[in-house]
Each structure stands twice: as C-alpha cells, then as structure tokens.
Amino acid sequence: MKRTVVAITAAAILLIGLAGCGTKERDELRVKVTTLEQQLAKANSDLAAKETELTEARGSLQAAQSAQAQAQSQLDNLNAELTRAKAELQKSKGTVKKKKK
C-alpha cells in the first residue's frame, strides 16, 4: 500500500511537472503565433497599399501615354504643315526668279 501511495504521488508530481512545462511551451507558441499573425496582417496591409499605389501608377502611366500620343499627333501635323510651307516657299522663290528674268 505504501508503494502505491508513493507511486501515485510520484506520478502526480511528474504530471504536474510535465503540465507546467507544456503550459510554458504552449504560451511561447501562442506568443509566436500572435507575433506571426501580426506580421501577416502588416504584410497584407502593406501589400494592399502597394497594390493601390501600383494601380495609381498604372493610371498615371496610361494618362501620360495618352498625352504623349496626342503630342506626337500634333507634332506630325506640324511637321506636315512645315513641309507644305517649305514647298510653297520653294515654289514662290522659283516664281520670283522667273519674274525677275
């Protein structure tokens, strides 16, 4: 009977010791999980901000490309007009030379 009491007491002490150790490990794991969840939430928030920034940048790029296309069209029109004006000038010079002779 004495052995049984000693065995039960030893088992109880062992279980209490293991339970305490397990609690510490669980608490450490809970802290790690909480930290990782916070890091994940921050990473998701940063990602959302970067996606918004990227969308805005794409909009700005599209607007700039549209403005560039309009400027190129105007440049092409001005170059065509300049070419016509130069041709008219050459034609006028030829007419003036003929009249002087």
pLDDT in tens, 23-57: 888 899 999 999 999 999 999 999 999 999 999 99
Give the C-alpha separation, 80 to 83, whole Å.
Answer: 5
- Note the pLDDT tens digit of each residue in 73-96: 999 999 999 999 999 999 888 777
DSSP one-letter string for 53-96: HHHHHHHHHHHHHHHHHHHHHHHHHHHHHHHHHHHHHHHHHHHH
Pairwise CA distance, residues 98 & 93, whole Å: 9
Length of the chain: 101
Prediction pTM value: 0.54
Flag whether pLDDT at 20 surpasses 90. Answer: no
Q: Residue with structure tokens 């794409």?
A: 58
What's the pLDDT at 23?
81
* Lookup result for tokens 């000693």: 6
Q: How far apart are CA 76 and CA 72, in angstroms?
A: 6
